Chain A
Amino acid sequence: MNLPSKEISPAVDIRGLNHWFGNGETRKQILQSISMQIEPGEVVLLTGPSGCGKTTLLTLIGALRKVEDGDLIVFGHQLRGSLRKNRQRLRRQIGMIFQGHNLLRCLTAEQNVQMGSDLLRGFSYSERRNQAREWLKVVGLEDQMNKLPHDLSGGQKQRVAIARALAARPKLLLADEPTSALDSSTGREVVDLLKRLARNQSCSVLMVTHDPRILDVADRLLKMEDGRLIPPVR
């Protein structure tokens, strides 16, 4: 395979990706010959009815699943046949924001964010803690640093999750319906914040969403149905 030269290499390059769930009789194809690219710094939204394979695609790009068929190249790293150890190392460059915030219940907001910055090497403990505080300030939670997730509102939790994802300085951010648990104005705020911060970091974003109110933040909109990408409208 010819890899494009480094300057113009996309963050994510997918060609002819197929994926199945189950075995034998019950084996079901989830993804059918997906091909797409995400450029560095680009914000891509992925929509489609539930069960069409969006989340599966996200977990494949996030190196959380084994690639069965097709090429999936993230930052120049071929994920098909990639070792568990390499995938784990790659995940450090990918930030993830989940539908449920998935914060660690036993950690304060600040400590949760620091779990993100702790992944960075070469910084002392206090430097990493200061970075965590900076991120919380950026997402507007400087007053809530020592609260446990339990004591935060849904929007605040999602903002902590964003801060945690960005604290590891990812080059790619994957978000799975980050606004689904939030009311419309909070959801809007969170997505705007996400986009602004990603821009500043020149970090690509791939966001799966059902939420029609936030579609306008996208640089590019992708639609999926029954495991296929519907030809994109640029």
Chain B
Amino acid sequence: MNSFWKTRRIPLAWLLLSRQPLRLFVALAGICFAGILMFMQLGFRDGLFDASVTVHKLFDTDLVLMSPRSMSSISMSGFPRRRLIQTMAHDDVIGITPVNWNFLLWRNPETLSTRSILALGFEPSDPLLKDSRFAFKAKALNIRGRVLFDDLSRNEFGPVSKWFLEGRTVETEVAGKRVRVAGLVSLGPSFGADGNLITSRETFLNLSPSTPQGSIEIGLIRLKPYSDPEVVVTSLTKSLPNDVRVLTRNEFIEFEKNYWRTSTSIGFIFSLGAAMGFVVGCVIVYQILYSDVSDHLPEYATLLAMGYRLKTLLGVVAREGILLAIMGYLPAYASGQALYALVRNATKLPVQMDIDRAVLVFSLILVMCMGSALLAMRRLVDADPAEIF
């Protein structure tokens, strides 16, 4: 503390910036703009990846069994149901839920147009979702031809939730067969699926007669508390034939995200957008700092003549960079939060401000400002104290 007061100097960097409010404002607006651009692009990118696993995250499961031929949620292959039953032999497995997973055509009850919807079929007495109220709703599925409709589905599927809540009987066709909506669930649209419905295995097989009786697309496996999923995955993989894959819940989620990350150009497009923001920010900050140093060159030269070290002056420019980064980041963060809320409302995409991205964008802004400061410092070398006399 004592040495702080001994070494404390006039806050030159701050005064250089703050005594030119217009220039400071332009610089901050530029940094803020770059920050917002990066927040939006990265937010969209991560949001879209997160959106691809909205349903995956809701399953009440520890491990997932699936066919090795399944590429993603939009191209699931079936595997023999008995493989799932075989896993019951493992000591740590306490419950299983076989799930059928397929896209079927849903007829909009209002406009009568059809649209592809993700249909999940399971035994209504088995646990499926983590939501504790779901088991109660699932009882309605015991009657044949009843479905639960996802009220977060996109509006193109018709005003199903609205009609249902008004107390009307909502009946429509799925894959050309009559179904009745027996309840609402909240899953959320994902990349592959604009909407979801859940039904009993019996109804599912009726709606999708091409699915073989003994075939399922996903097997949910619940483990004893405190058992290590990784260990169980290893031993199940060893004991089961290679016509199935065993994944942990996180691997299952990553598997889906990875498909969208690697098989589509989404990641590239949005990363490129963020890079553009970064470059624009660099140019603006460099311009501001360079002209700031140029304008004050005689003053820097005076300081050199007085006996200040070049290192001290470089430190002043570096501090200007840090101050700009911090002051530009705060409004960018606030605007990012606001815009994320806007995007969530408009698109139902799960775009969230997370710590990782907040830190990443701050680091990028800091790199941007410090890099520009470094380039601007080259101008300082031109400050020749002999020229000022």
Instruction: Tell me if B386 and A119 are in contact (CB < 8 A).
Output: no
Contacts of A168 in B (CB 8 A): 306-307
A107 at the interface (CB under 8 A from B): yes
B238 at the interface (CB under 8 A from A): no
Instruction: Tell me if A115 and B303 are in contact (CB < 8 A).
Output: yes
Also in contact, A88 and B309, with CB within 8 A (given A105-B19, A106-B15): yes
Interchain nearest-CB distance for B131 vs A (Å): 61
B9 at the interface (CB under 8 A from A): yes
Of A99, A115, A148, which one neighbours B389 at CB under 8 angstroms?
A99
Closest to B308 in A: A119
A62 at the interface (CB under 8 A from B): yes
- The listed residue with most A CB atoms (<10 A of its CB), out of B8, B9, B302, B309, is B302
* Alpha-carbon distance between A23 and B54 when the two chains are bound, in angstroms: 75
* Alpha-carbon distance between A105 and B389 when the two chains are bound, in angstroms: 18
Q: Number of contacting residues on B, CB 8 A?
A: 26
Chain A positions 74-103 with a Cβ under 8 Å from a chain B Cβ: 88-94, 96, 98-100, 102
Chain B positions 264-309 with a Cβ under 8 Å from a chain A Cβ: 296, 298-299, 302-309
B5 at the interface (CB under 8 A from A): yes
- The listed residue with most A CB atoms (<10 A of its CB), out of B10, B16, B302, is B10
Chain B positions 1-47 with a Cβ under 8 Å from a chain A Cβ: 5-6, 8-10, 12, 15-16, 19-20
Of A99, A107, A119, which one neighbours B306 at CB under 8 angstroms?
A119
Instruction: Tell me if B6 and A107 are in contact (CB < 8 A).
Output: no
Contacts of A90 in B (CB 8 A): 307
Interface residues of B, dominant DSSP? helix
Of B6, B20, B302, B309, which one neighbours A104 at CB under 8 angstroms?
B302
A158 at the interface (CB under 8 A from B): no
Contacts of B12 in A (CB 8 A): 104, 106-107, 115
Of A58, A102, A106, A115, which one neighbours B298 at CB under 8 angstroms?
A102
Also in contact, A119 and B19, with CB within 8 A (given A102-B299, A124-B6, A125-B8): no
- The listed residue with most A CB atoms (<10 A of its CB), out of B9, B304, B305, is B305
* Alpha-carbon distance between A106 and B308 when the two chains are bound, in angstroms: 17
Closest to A110 in B: B10
Bitwise, A38-78 to B at CB < 8 A (1) or not (0) is 00000000000000000100110010110000000000000
Interchain nearest-CB distance for B13 vs A (Å): 10
Instruction: Tell me if A89 and B307 are in contact (CB < 8 A).
Output: yes
Contacts of A89 in B (CB 8 A): 307
Bitwise, B33-72 to A at CB < 8 A (1) or not (0) is 0000000000000000000000000000000000000000
B388 at the interface (CB under 8 A from A): yes
Also in contact, A115 and B309, with CB within 8 A (given A98-B302, A106-B15): no
Bitwise, B244-272 to A at CB < 8 A (1) or not (0) is 00000000000000000000000000000
Also in contact, A64 and B5, with CB within 8 A (given A89-B307, A105-B19): no
Contacts of A111 in B (CB 8 A): 10, 15
Contacts of B8 in A (CB 8 A): 124-125
Instruction: Tell me if A176 and B389 are in contact (CB < 8 A).
Output: yes
Instruction: Tell me if B10 and A58 are in contact (CB < 8 A).
Output: no
Closest to B310 in A: A88
Instruction: Tell me if B15 and A125 are in contact (CB < 8 A).
Output: no
Also in contact, A122 and B305, with CB within 8 A (given A99-B389, A111-B15): no
A179 at the interface (CB under 8 A from B): no
B385 at the interface (CB under 8 A from A): yes
Of B302, B308, B386, which one neighbours A102 at CB under 8 angstroms?
B302
A114 at the interface (CB under 8 A from B): yes
Instruction: Tell me if A118 and B307 are in contact (CB < 8 A).
Output: no
Contacts of B307 in A (CB 8 A): 88-94, 119, 168
Interchain nearest-CB distance for A74 vs B (Å): 13
A2 at the interface (CB under 8 A from B): no
* Alpha-carbon distance between A65 and B19 when the two chains are bound, in angstroms: 32
Instruction: Tell me if A98 and B389 are in contact (CB < 8 A).
Output: yes
Interchain nearest-CB distance for B381 vs A (Å): 12
Instruction: Tell me if A126 and B6 are in contact (CB < 8 A).
Output: no
Of B5, B19, B20, B310, which one neighbours A125 at CB under 8 angstroms?
B5
Also in contact, A107 and B389, with CB within 8 A (given A96-B305, A102-B298, A116-B306): no
A123 at the interface (CB under 8 A from B): yes
* Alpha-carbon distance between A57 and B95 when the two chains are bound, in angstroms: 94
Contacts of A92 in B (CB 8 A): 306-307
Instruction: Tell me if A64 and B10 are in contact (CB < 8 A).
Output: no
* Alpha-carbon distance between A125 and B66 when the two chains are bound, in angstroms: 70
* Alpha-carbon distance between A55 and B304 when the two chains are bound, in angstroms: 17
* Alpha-carbon distance between A118 and B12 when the two chains are bound, in angstroms: 12
* Alpha-carbon distance between A58 and B305 when the two chains are bound, in angstroms: 12
Given pairs A102-B388, A168-B307, 7 additional interface contacts (CB within 8 A) = A88-B304, A88-B309, A92-B307, A93-B307, A98-B302, A104-B299, A124-B8
Contacts from B to A (Cβ < 8 Å): 5-6, 8-10, 12, 15-16, 19-20, 296, 298-299, 302-310, 385-386, 388-389
9 contacts between A and B (CB under 8 A): A59-B389, A64-B389, A96-B306, A100-B298, A102-B388, A104-B12, A106-B16, A118-B10, A176-B389
Contacts from A to B (Cβ < 8 Å): 55, 58-59, 62, 64-65, 88-94, 96, 98-100, 102, 104-107, 111, 114-116, 118-119, 121-126, 148, 164-165, 168, 176
